[in-house]
Structure 1
């Protein structure tokens, strides 16, 4: 995964060339593993942005006890890291086990080559000998250890807030898909990121190593991220790869993930505390189970509240695979914002 460079040189850019069929093959996906890997980068650079502080405080008690030595060594704080650890997701319904299965399926020769390249970037004098030997030794053993540590990191760092995060990721995809439908690729990339510019059927990504990626009918996978803010990531960038490159970009409304939902006193008087809390939390489209966990009510109680709110035109219900997501309508959003005026 090639990440946005820290020291940006004027004029440096990675150019993605779109040919026949590439526009039709652009699609959106999410990746629990992408969020996990990006969360690790936040741990390495905790001062990236103040809104990560609540999360950092929450995970601090468990981080010290995690065995992530080899994974931490394989993941650079910035720049280019092993692509096989950041597999391109294929669907908006990607699960963590889908991501990890892709990592585990990586050819040992690819694992060996990419970890060797990462090893060359390290200062041998600052790396524990056992970890360096694991990084440069048997690629199959290294791959299995890395997969196990990725799963450990997911469970400790991301899974506890995944339902809330997933709602915002889905909301971003809905908005971006509408932009794509209304304005094509030019409309989509107009405000995707300040370092992404669309011109002459090419996407120019400044802040990366100079180069050109010919999509050759592979299309592009667009992956919103919460923990990756404010940077872009792209990979793989090898023109010989049959894999569609994934462009990882900051999702819309990232700050809302860390902000506590606040209830309007007027809405509490109107609806009651329980129903008002459920409605307030649906600013992120969520499942009944997720809402029940966040408002500390029984799922059956939350389901009853949702039925009433939906009948009143305050909540919508949209199916996502086997799940149903409940979100606010324009009417409820207006009601909840009355106190701001």
Structure 2
């Protein structure tokens, strides 16, 4: 079978690997589409994500859609997993199920979670940019008819990043009638904007330094977009935006400052973008005097089911899907995905 792998920074290959068979309690999924994520780009360009360095060949990818190819022993169709031939997406996390976080109903913060396409553990957790992916049955999520073929199956590859966006909104609380600021108009930020509007936000302002990315945000539901550099400058002219909720989706430390500065007194800031390791500048004084509630959001739990339902119902996010490349052209797809002036979410087509 084909797989998109990396061994070090700048080393991206499409190579032949043995086709796996599902073991006890597992399901084999024939992958159709995979979305290139920021973490995939970090592994390609830098050979790691934060402290997680590639130490052995790693199959990339964790945003995937496809169809069930085979069920392992102990897996009953329609009970433990969808039947063979059913269109599905995959929850990429395998939490330990035993630690304090898992027992508290927070498996997304399990310190021993194994995530598809991750070098956090050794052996690495092989990812989904492959013809056949084998995962535990409970991680396979069936898709409704609207997402079961063609463009619908491409949309289904957005289920994982949309679930990330939905988890951030759940951390933010009720958005009905609220004013929301989203810093960062990458795929995640754009999906946050779309989901926030669907959740009833009265206004969704999105900021970024890339004009093309801001146009994507407008297309999926942002009511207003601002250049991030102009947004910061407005503090000395028009004053703060006074949004009720600010969601930081860029991972840029200055954007966190922007969120705290622009949220109302008593407002909520959700840090969704992964910040660089170590200490970052933070307006702690404003956080105290304005009683700003700062919350983290990491991955997701059951929100992938909500994401599938929203995609099936027609949540207007097609503008996020900017290009699709056959898997044989994976390097070109990765190079394009890193250019935010030309691409938002780039898909790999494993049906080609």
- Structure-1-length-normalised TM-score: 0.22
Larger relative contact order (CA 8 Å, sep ≥ 6): 1
Which structure: greater helix fraction? 1
Which structure: greater strand fraction? 2
From the CA coordinates, give the structure whose radius of gyration is larger: 1
